[in-house]
């Protein structure tokens, strides 16, 4: 096998490995007073596992607030939506809870509802991490897809929690035949 054939074979193998991950995207819609939305879409015919969403919200006060959500799976051809009105700033650090931040089922006395502030809740930065059908870890940060995961450990912001489960809806397969 020539060097050119070997390089082409490697390139095709890498493209095949990225195939599912390339069909995962996210975006934010702005809006006033808690109406901002963050969407994560899986256009793949396969589910994602261990979905990890990390994002910053700009709010004054209390300032930038960091959020992260872990979900065990996201179904094929679906979009997950996190509403700005479901975000709460918390005084205590949820990172002290073994690094696992599940969505809260209901608001508690420790949180301040960010949607109640006069200024809009704006999503500043977001990144997602997930595992594909083969168990490979992927991250999408600033639009770029890379192997690996995302972390909130070094985020220079206060921490917040998402109240309630994010909404997940099935969508048309976007004209994507899954590579067939």
Domain assignments of the chain as residue spans, ordered by start:
3-170
**Token reading at 178:** 């899954």
Instruction: Say if residues 102 and 70 touch (Cβ distance below 8 Å).
Output: yes
Instruction: Say if residues 139 and 149 touch (Cβ distance below 8 Å).
Output: yes
Which residue(s) pair with 148 in the sheet?
Answer: none
Could you please report the per-residue DSSP string of 64-111?
-EEEEEEEEEE-TTEEEEEEGGGEEEESS-GGGTTT--PPBSS--TTE
Task: For 1-44, write each residue's pLDDT tens digit.
Answer: 688 888 888 888 788 888 999 999 998 887 665 577 889 999 99
Q: Give me the sheet containing 78-83, strands edge to edge.
A: 24-29, 37-42, 78-83, 167-170
46 has pLDDT over 80: yes
Task: For 50-82, write each residue's pLDDT tens digit.
Answer: 998 888 777 666 667 777 788 899 999 999 998
Which residue(s) pair with 53 in the sheet?
Answer: 69, 128
**What integer pLDDT is reported at residue 111 of this predicted model?**
53
Q: Give me the sheet containing 137-141, strands edge to edge.
A: 111-113, 87-90, 158-162, 65-74, 48-58, 122-131, 137-141, 144-147
For the whole model, what pTM was predicted?
Answer: 0.74
**What integer pLDDT is reported at residue 100 of this predicted model?**
46
Counting residues of the chain whose pLDDT is more than 90, the rounded percentage is 23
Instruction: Say if residues 43 and 77 touch (Cβ distance below 8 Å).
Output: yes
Handedness of CA 118, 119, 123, 125 (dihedral sign): negative
């Amino acid at each position: 096998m020539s060097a050119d054939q070997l390089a082409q074979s490697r390139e095709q193998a890498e493209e095949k490995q990225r195939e599912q991950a390339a069909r995962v995207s996210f975006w934010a819609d702005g809006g006033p007073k808690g109406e901002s939305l963050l969407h994560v879409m899986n256009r793949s015919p396969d589910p994602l596992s261990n979905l990890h969403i990390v994002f910053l919200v700009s709010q004054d006060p209390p300032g930038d607030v960091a959020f992260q959500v872990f979900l065990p799976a996201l179904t094929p051809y679906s979009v997950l939506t996190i509403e700005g009105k479901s975000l709460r700033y918390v005084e205590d650090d949820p990172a002290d809870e073994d690094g696992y931040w599940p969505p809260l089922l209901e608001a508690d006395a420790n949180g301040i509802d960010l949607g109640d502030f006069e200024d809009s809740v704006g999503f500043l930065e977001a990144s997602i991490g997930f595992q594909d059908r083969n168990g490979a870890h992927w991250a999408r940060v600033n639009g770029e897809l890379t192997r690996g995961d995302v972390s909130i450990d070094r985020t220079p912001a206060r921490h917040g929690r998402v109240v309630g489960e994010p909404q997940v809806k099935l969508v048309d397969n976007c004209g994507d035949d899954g590579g067939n």
